[in-house]
Structure 1
Amino acid sequence: MTIVDLIVIATILVSHLPAVVGTPGQSDGAYTEPFKRQLPTIRPGSPQSPWNTCEKSGGPYKLQDYYRGESFLNDWEFFSWADPTNGNVNYQTRANAIAKNLAYVKQDGTTVLAVDDFSNVPVGGRRDSVRINTKKRYNEGLFIADFWKMPYGCSLWPAYWSVGPNWPNGGEIDVLEGANLQKTNQYTLHTGPMCTASLGNVKVDARLIHTQCASYWWDNRGCGFSDSDERSYGKGFNDVGGGVFAHLWNRDGIKMWHFARSEIPADLKEERPNPATWVTPVAFWSSRTCDMGKNFYEHTLVIDTTICGDWAGATYSSSGCPGTCAEAVANKQNFKGAKWEINYIAVYQRNE
């Protein structure tokens, strides 16, 4: 083969390569428009994944939805009305949250949802924050949430949860929630009448603290469990690089697990979750004393951070925090680091 032949072949091969279109100065070749960065969504099985595993099929559950990076800004809705829990917050629209750098995606694909830590707010005023919820609604499933960091501290009330229509009748599932200087996570259900917490014959690691799930205006505690592991919430959670919260919701009941970063099961990393092989759940609510179909339906997933309000405000004086909750709102230094850093949230359904 002559040199001329080689040049001809090379020319043909180059002509068939895909064109790369980009904007000068952007090393990743990605086009960026206001309020919408076009970073790719990275799945656990992709080469860019921090786990660097191969996506595998099979297993008892199949992946339904996978939220990471930009999908939290585009496939979730920004709640921008008054806080239903009476918090000292101004929940921001999508455009405002991004413009104020309260919602953004880092280069590694981590999604950040932050509380305003730069504005001057009067004592008892309202500070900007973010609350988002899925556009999709869910009925049963296996839900996996991986967080690198979470907000915590005096006056703060962060939560990852799900809720149905016509609260409390559609139910509420609180997976990760706490207030002020709380050291461990609290897992709670809220429902309409005729639902109580019972374990049946299932062993759990957390302590049952209230059995009445029904929520009323005079008693909205719900039925909850208190974790004993300080890695499940706040500073202890952040110090170990965060971790995973998983909950399985089906006709038999609702089970929950917490895995510190170093203890995440291999099947989760391989995108083949099998709860039957996991360690003892931290919490369980049996369908024997709570009809799952009647009390939980059409749920949206929610992530938010409120300030003071019905829980953090009501317990502030007994929490060990200085001054008053109203004064804490005005102290912008109090909110340095008050942010969610989200790796991903995945929803699985039974592989029939």
Structure 2
Amino acid sequence: MYTSALLALATLASPSFAAYKKVWDYNSSNFWDNFNFVDLDDSHFTGGFAQYVGIDEALSSGLARINNGKVRLGVDSTNTYSTSSTGRKSLRLQSYGYFDNGLLVGDFAHVPVAGCGQWPAFWVYQGEQHVGSYAEIDILENVNVHTANTHSLYTSDQCTINIQKGNLVPEKSTNCHWKKDGPPSQGCSFNAEAGTFNQPFNNDYKVVALQVESERIRIWHFKKTEVPADLNSASPNPDAWTKAPTVHITPKSCDFHKAFNLFHIVINTSFCGSWAGDDFNNTNYAGQCAQQTGVNDCKTWVAQHPSDFVNTFWEINSIKLFQRA
């Protein structure tokens, strides 16, 4: 009786989660059908030096194409540009579909090799159509010559969190609240381990997974030798994975379901702008890009050196979404 009572208490104390089932599988067979190619320049978003092109130009120019069964999303690495232009041609894709919760898994054969001036990102956000609210989670993102991934979470709700796992960027808080025209230190931002971005990712890593549920948000990086076998099934179980997540947060004073929802998937590559910087002497790795390139101005470097961006491309095996049955 004593053992039975303990088991009953343990059952009550541990949450019971329904199994995940695959609902989206975006790959080389259907990618163009499920993503909108945003035909705007990046001044509409992060003040970057990138001219995003529509699907017709993307496909005809080869910036978007299927390469050996993989989805390849690149940038123009042939032409030079005026610094007074809207910027180097690039791509910003946004999924037509959106989700509120689930397990989103990006399987990559190649991520952009981010040198000076470059700002690639794989992320989810509500989109401009949701007036009066905002939510964003950056899954794979950084700038310039960084080789460690950074995760940021933003919501227009007041949202304090408990950190179960993860290294919070010093200038960020444990309140993920964001408002337009607020200070740069808004939101919650976490540093991933070294080697999870840039060429080191391509050398060793393959999969990034984001779990968004009302009781927790978690992010994992998996090396090529670490990918859970059940991710090849229709019903993975993250609670059985042996690798610890890079980030694991739970709500403190926050309704995760309300604060983080209506997520579209976004994949884009920008240049310069509000994070990669317009002045190489006053940005992340201050002075390193000025020394490496021999110029101070980011736009000058990006505009005049197309060959530096030959490896600035995404190559995607698949993007899958699993949700509770």
Aligned to 2:239: 276
Map residues 166-315 of structure 1 onto 2, 5 A cutoff.
Answer: 166=130, 169-199=133-163, 202=164, 204=165, 206-209=166-169, 210-211=172-173, 212-216=175-179, 217-221=181-185, 222-230=187-195, 232-240=196-204, 242-278=205-241, 279-313=243-277
TM superposition shift of 1:228? 1.8
The 2-side partners of 1:218 and 1:263 are apart by: 39
Aligned to 1:121: 81
Residues 122-168 of structure 1, C-alpha deviation per residue, up to 9 Å, x if partnerless? 23541100010111111101111111111111111100111114378
Given that residues 161 and 301 in structure 1 are in contact (C-alpha distance below 8 angstroms), is that contact kept between their aligned partners in structure 2? Answer: yes
Residues 75-124 of structure 1, C-alpha deviation per residue, up to 9 Å, x if partnerless? 111111232111111101000101111000013x1000001001121235
Tell me the SS of whatever aligns to 1:316. Answer: coil
TM superposition shift of 1:213? 1.4
Aligned to 1:100: 61
Aligned to 1:24: none
Aligned to 1:335: 309
Structure 2: where are the runs of 5+ without partners?
1-17
Aligned to 1:67: 26
Aligned to 2:15: none
TM superposition shift of 1:268? 1.2
TM superposition shift of 1:67? 0.3
TM superposition shift of 1:190? 0.8
TM superposition shift of 1:70? 3.8
Given that residues 189 and 223 in structure 1 are in contact (C-alpha distance below 8 angstroms), is that contact kept between their aligned partners in structure 2? Answer: yes
Aligned to 1:156: 118
Going from structure 1 to structure 2, the CA distance change for 1:262 and 1:271 (only over 3 Å counts) comes to farther
- Superposition RMSD in Å: 1.8
Aligned to 2:6: none
**Which residue identity lines up with residue 192 of structure 2 in the other structure?**
D
Greater strand content:
2
Aligned to 2:4: none
Residues 184-210 of structure 1, C-alpha deviation per residue, up to 9 Å, x if partnerless? 0001101114113322xx3x2x31122
Q: Which has the higher contact order (CA 8 A, sep 6+)?
A: 2
The 1-side partners of 2:30 and 2:105 are apart by: 16
**Which residue identity lines up with residue 348 of structure 1 in the other structure?**
F
**Which residue identity lines up with residue 161 of structure 1 in the other structure?**
W
Aligned to 2:7: none
The 2-side partners of 1:112 and 1:177 are apart by: 17
Aligned to 1:54: none
Tell me the SS of whatever aligns to 1:306. Answer: strand
Runs of 4+ in 1 over 6 A off after TM superposition: none
The 2-side partners of 1:197 and 1:104 are apart by: 40
**Which residue identity lines up with residue 328 of structure 1 in the other structure?**
W
Given that residues 279 and 298 in structure 2 are in contact (C-alpha distance below 8 angstroms), is that contact kept between their aligned partners in structure 1? Answer: no
The 1-side partners of 2:279 and 2:104 are apart by: 30
The 2-side partners of 1:214 and 1:167 are apart by: 16
The 2-side partners of 1:188 and 1:252 are apart by: 18
TM-score scaled by structure 2? 0.83
The 1-side partners of 2:261 and 2:276 are apart by: 28
TM-score scaled by structure 1? 0.77
Structure 1: where are the runs of 5+ without partners?
1-58
TM superposition shift of 1:302? 0.5
Going from structure 1 to structure 2, the CA distance change for 1:81 and 1:233 (only over 3 Å counts) comes to same
Tell me the SS of whatever aligns to 2:257. Answer: helix
The 2-side partners of 1:223 and 1:316 are apart by: 25
Given that residues 120 and 141 in structure 2 are in contact (C-alpha distance below 8 angstroms), is that contact kept between their aligned partners in structure 1? Answer: yes
Tell me the SS of whatever aligns to 1:333. Answer: helix
Going from structure 1 to structure 2, the CA distance change for 1:235 and 1:148 (only over 3 Å counts) comes to same
Larger displacement relative to structure 2 (126-135 or 72-81) = 72-81
Aligned to 1:325: 298
TM superposition shift of 1:220? 3.9
The 1-side partners of 2:73 and 2:126 are apart by: 23
Q: Does 1:142 align with 2:106?
A: no
Tell me the SS of whatever aligns to 2:160. Answer: coil
Tell me the SS of whatever aligns to 2:199. Answer: helix
TM superposition shift of 1:297? 1.8
Tell me the SS of whatever aligns to 1:337. Answer: coil
